[in-house]
């Protein structure tokens, strides 16, 4: 595992974008695993700048996102599809049909979970997976539990995650209580993993990277992957 310490959010974002950009240059038809939340917004802004400067071409890139809320109406500004379109996809030359997220409005979530897992496999698997980390150590929406979920699955969100994510909604009652997420096993199948941890994540990152590997801290499983890069902020 490589831990790269940067001074602040801007430096963290620039470095993460450099690594993602390098992946696209090395393999233009790569499959990027993408994340939502506050942590990757700066990274996506930097990627858009690189595209606008003519240094990156997304025309052959495929993307699969980690997770999606369940039950939000199609087009909801709180959906992760909306987040991805507005923070990245609409600003670069990626083909929208090459951008995949789980369908949070599917009628049968178990079926949708199996379908999405297969979809990732059919694309040939993820070359580089970008991850954020929740304050309780969650990755994607894999919440602390007694085991590591192997595949894409529906989840009930913990009250701490609902609370943390309520900052983006008008009222806490509007935050969905369920989501669908890649499993820890799905995430570990990526060739490379890039975890970005903003200034507010120092404590949990230390626990996850240097503590014992336990499903109570889902991100701790990254210690077992052969190619993980973690970018932290000095302020953390
Ligand atoms: C959400 C997402 C995660 C993300 C986490 C941290 O719950 N499902 O994928 O990593 O929040 O978000 P933030 O970067 O905003 O702290």
- Best mutation site among 41, 78, 138 for ligand 1, i.e. most ligand atoms within 8 A of its Cβ? 138
Q: Which residue has a Cα nearest atom 5 of ligand 1?
A: 134
Which of 36, 167, 200 to probe ligand 1 with, by most ligand atoms within 8 A of CB?
36
DSSP secondary structure letter of residue 157: P
Distance 140 CA to ligand 1 centre (A): 7
User: Are 208 and 219 contacting, i.e. CB atoms less than 8 angstroms apart?
Assistant: yes
Q: What amino acid positions are annotated as catalytic residues?
A: 67, 136, 138, 143
Residues 6+ apart with CB under 8 A from 29: 60, 61, 62
pLDDT tens-digit readout, 181-209: 999 999 999 999 999 999 889 999 999 99
pLDDT at 112 over 90: yes
* pLDDT tens profile 113-157: 999 999 999 999 999 999 999 999 999 999 999 999 999 999 999
- Count the alpha carbons within 13 Å of 88 in the hemisphere toward its beta carbon: 29
What confidence tens digit (pLDDT) does each residue in 33-61 have?
A: 999 999 999 999 999 999 999 999 999 99
What percent of the chain clears pLDDT 90, i.e. is strictly above it?
93
Calculate the dihedral angle through the C-alpha atoms of 108, 109, 114, 116, rounding to the nearest 10 degrees.
Answer: 110
pLDDT at 79 over 60: yes
For residue 25, is pLDDT > 90? yes
Q: Quote the ligand 1 centre to 224 CA distance (angstroms).
A: 21
Q: Residue 232: pLDDT band by 50, 70, 90 thresholds?
A: very high
Specify the pLDDT at position 147.
Answer: 97
Work out the pLDDT band at 236, boundaries 50, 70, 90: low
Q: Could you give the angle at which helices 80-87 and 41-52 cross, rounded to 10 degrees?
A: 40
Tokens coding 194: 């890039």
What backbone phi and psi angles, to 5 degrees, belong to 130?
Answer: -90, 135
The pLDDT confidence band at residue 235, using thresholds 50, 70 and 90, is low
**pLDDT-based confidence at 75, cuts 50/70/90?**
confident
Q: pLDDT, tens digit, for every residue of 85-104?
A: 999 999 999 999 999 999 99
Average pLDDT in the chain: 96
Ligand 1, closest atom to CA 161?
A: 7
* Strand-pair category, 178-181 with 153-156: antiparallel
């Amino acid at each position: 595992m490589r831990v790269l310490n940067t001074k602040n959010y801007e430096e963290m974002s620039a470095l993460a974008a450099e690594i993602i950009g390098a992946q696209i240059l090395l393999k233009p038809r790569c499959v990027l695993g993408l994340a939502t939340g506050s942590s990757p917004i700066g990274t996506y802004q930097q990627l858009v700048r690189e595209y606008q400067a003519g240094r990156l071409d997304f025309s052959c890139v495929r993307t699969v996102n980690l997770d999606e809320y369940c039950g939000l109406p199609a087009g909801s500004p709180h959906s992760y599809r909306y987040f991805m379109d507005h923070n990245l996809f609409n600003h670069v030359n990626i083909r929208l049909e090459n951008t995949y997220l789980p369908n949070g409005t599917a009628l049968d979530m178990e079926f949708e979970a199996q379908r999405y897992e297969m979809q990732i496999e059919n694309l040939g698997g993820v070359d580089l997976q970008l991850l954020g980390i929740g304050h309780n150590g969650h990755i994607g929406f894999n919440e602390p539990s007694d085991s590591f979920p192997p595949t894409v699955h529906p989840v009930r969100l913990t009250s701490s995650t609902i609370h943390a994510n309520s900052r983006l909604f008008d009222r806490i009652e509007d935050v969905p209580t369920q989501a669908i997420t890649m499993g820890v096993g799905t995430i570990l199948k990526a060739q490379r993993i890039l975890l970005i941890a903003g200034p507010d994540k120092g404590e949990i990152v230390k626990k996850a990277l240097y503590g014992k590997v336990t499903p109570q801290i889902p991100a701790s499983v990254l210690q077992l992957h052969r190619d993980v890069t973690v970018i932290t902020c000095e302020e953390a």
